[in-house]
Chain A
Amino acid sequence: MKTQHLAPHVGHRYRHGAWLAGGLATALVLLLSVTSGDAGAAPVVRGSDAEALRLLRDAGGSVRATHYEGTQFITTWSDTGGDKRATTSLVRVTHTPGQGTYIEVRRTTADASRGTYEPDSTGARGGLTGFTPKMLDLMVRNYAVVQAGEDSVCGRPARVVEARRPDGSPAGRFWIDRDTGLMLHRELLDGQGRAVSITGFYDIRIGRPKPQIHEVQTVATPWGRELAAADLGLLRRDGWTVPNSLPGRLELYDARQADQGGIVHLVYSDGLSAVSLFIQRGELDERRFARWRKIDTGGRTVYEHNALRRWAVWDSDEYVYTVLADAPQGTADAVIAALPHGGPGFWGRLGRGLKRLGSWLNPFE
């Protein structure tokens, strides 16, 4: 009799425990999904201005729809071990809608050299905007994009748009031509409000370009093979390091592979800064980097070079890593530190060896 009374009670308690366990598991999954470190799950910075966003979005279309020619300057500031320096390049750009943009690097405004041709068919923007549509989505997520008044660039009236951090400090500024919508000038700022890099027109002329002969050295088209999530999963399974995010709220938004050599290109951004990570199998040929700055990281050497962009090259466990950053120095350093350095370690070496043994024994491999 006692058992008959107890049985339903125990069963009820058991079901209650199952519900409790299920609830805890669900809560744990939700908690992990929130705290997984995925930049996509980071809280969205609110307060963006719709008109400011429209100006930025339209700037991309205006670049392709407008005749223009002019000289751009690109300046990047760096501070490597107390050695503060600014590097500037002058670039002559000539754009014809429906065709493309000729880009020529000049040592001075009077010096011409062979350049690069970027067809409009690639969807590129001649390097004027400094962001892609995907980057703009990330910018809205990480910054408050607002209008910040009016100004003038090269004598042309411009509207100013700012991307602000959650604390209200500006992280990026854009000067957009009031008449054509072209991006005339843009700045990337660090946490102290200092300019990290500036790209803007030194002079500009709106209208049909004068006929001239361009000697093209490179036709700039991005690597054709885009890597989907499944491709990235296969790479990870094969031992490649493919982070979904990097320090500085940088999120992976593009991944491609070269047609030859199997080089993988991963692109990260928070909307303003852009970091490219190139990975290829092999050992670094260090002789090519004799003039670069050597940084010792736990017995391994990282070769760094700051010019228009911040470069770092090193090898680690069968892979050569090349980081190319348009980002503040601190962000670039944190990205480099977050990537693999040194050997595979005990378990990595053991796993690699067992994998090799398995492949030797597998007649179908």
Chain B
Amino acid sequence: MSHLGDRLTALVDGELDHDERDRVLAHLAGCAECRAEADAQRRLKQRLRSLGDAAPSPQLLTSLYAMGEPGGPIPPRARSMPGAAKPPVVARPTARRPARAGGQGGSGPARRGLKSGLESGVGGGGGHGAGPGHDLAPGRGKAGRRLPRMRYLAVGAATFAVFGIGTAGFVAGGDNGQLPRVAPALDQFAVEHALTSGDVPITDRDPAEEVTSRP
């Protein structure tokens, strides 16, 4: 049993002021039992710190990531009615201030918050105050939704362009423009045909010029 009581723990935690620390250290110099107790507490503290650096197993990470996947339909957000109490402020987990293990985290914490918390050596839920999955944290989840939205936008723009150009082309191709009205020069064609086929170069324009007989 230590002679210093809680002060020994405070010494190890570095919570003593200057004068108190001098007195405790003076006692330790002459008391082997308290020195041993102080050494034991320092080793315990170091071990606890080393435990915080341990990486979680991949199975655990996978399970936790799965908890962050989109679930079923999101229930409508409760609208605050006049006179009703304001909904609780949603706390968002951050990497700098992880929540305590076993905290009041909801069922749908953000993947990024979880991973950051785990990488900092502390497991835990999505922080206190998060509702039952209806308030997803910003970050990766939002970016994940932005990407398909961009895709839809690009596909929509391309479709619009194709249909627009196609419609314009179809409309522009329908008008024959200022086509001249032509009457083929049959007499000229008849002579040209005869000259290129070795035939008699005579016109064949008016049937009245030929003698017609019925067998």
Structural contact, A276 and B193, CB atoms closer than 8 A: yes
Q: Does B40 contact A (CB under 8 A)?
A: no
Structural contact, A282 and B201, CB atoms closer than 8 A: no
Q: Does A29 contact B (CB under 8 A)?
A: no
- Give Cα distance in the complex from A72 to B86, angstroms: 114
Q: How many residues of A contact B (CB 8 A)?
A: 71
- Give Cα distance in the complex from A131 to B198, angstroms: 5
Q: Does B199 contact A (CB under 8 A)?
A: yes
B41 to chain A, nearest CB (A): 61
Q: A122-B195, A324-B189 are in contact. Are A103 and B201 (CB under 8 A)?
A: yes
Could you list some 21 contacts between A and B, CB below 8 A?
A93-B200, A103-B200, A105-B209, A107-B209, A116-B201, A124-B201, A127-B199, A199-B200, A218-B191, A221-B195, A278-B192, A307-B207, A308-B202, A308-B204, A322-B189, A349-B173, A349-B174, A353-B169, A354-B172, A355-B173, A357-B169
Which of A5-13, A84-92, A145-153, A329-337 faces chain B? A84-92
Q: Which residues of B contact A (CB under 8 A)?
A: 165-166, 168-174, 176, 179-184, 186, 189-204, 207, 209-215
Residue in contact with A282 in the complex, picked from B165, B166, B179, B191, CB distance below 8 Å: B179
Q: Does A19 contact B (CB under 8 A)?
A: no
Structural contact, B182 and A280, CB atoms closer than 8 A: yes
Q: A84-B215, A88-B211 are in contact. Are A276 and B197 (CB under 8 A)?
A: yes
* Residues 248-293 of A at the B interface (beta carbon under 8 Å): 254, 256, 265, 267, 269, 274, 276, 278, 280-285, 288
Q: Does A135 contact B (CB under 8 A)?
A: yes
- Give Cα distance in the complex from A351 to B169, angstroms: 7
* Residues 109-162 of A at the B interface (beta carbon under 8 Å): 116, 118, 122, 124-127, 129-132, 135
CB-based nearest A residue for B203? A105
Structural contact, A357 and B168, CB atoms closer than 8 A: yes
Residue in contact with A87 in the complex, picked from B181, B194, B210, CB distance below 8 Å: B210
Q: Mark A321-365, 1 if CB is under 8 A from B, else 0.
A: 010101000000000000000001010111111111100000000
B173 to chain A, nearest CB (A): 3
B181 to chain A, nearest CB (A): 4
A109 to chain B, nearest CB (A): 11
A52 to chain B, nearest CB (A): 17
Q: Which residues of A contact B (CB under 8 A)?
A: 72, 74, 84-91, 93, 103, 105, 107-108, 116, 118, 122, 124-127, 129-132, 135, 199, 218, 220-223, 254, 256, 265, 267, 269, 274, 276, 278, 280-285, 288, 305, 307-309, 311, 313, 318, 320, 322, 324, 326, 344, 346, 348-357
A324 contacts which chain B residues (CB < 8 A)? Answer: 189-190, 193
A218 contacts which chain B residues (CB < 8 A)? Answer: 191, 201
A15 to chain B, nearest CB (A): 42
B165 contacts which chain A residues (CB < 8 A)? Answer: 354, 357
Structural contact, B197 and A116, CB atoms closer than 8 A: no
Structural contact, A326 and B173, CB atoms closer than 8 A: no
A223 contacts which chain B residues (CB < 8 A)? Answer: 192
Structural contact, B181 and A285, CB atoms closer than 8 A: yes
- Give Cα distance in the complex from A267 to B210, angstroms: 25
A267 contacts which chain B residues (CB < 8 A)? Answer: 193, 196-197
Structural contact, A129 and B180, CB atoms closer than 8 A: no
- Give Cα distance in the complex from A178 to B154, angstroms: 83
Structural contact, A281 and B179, CB atoms closer than 8 A: yes
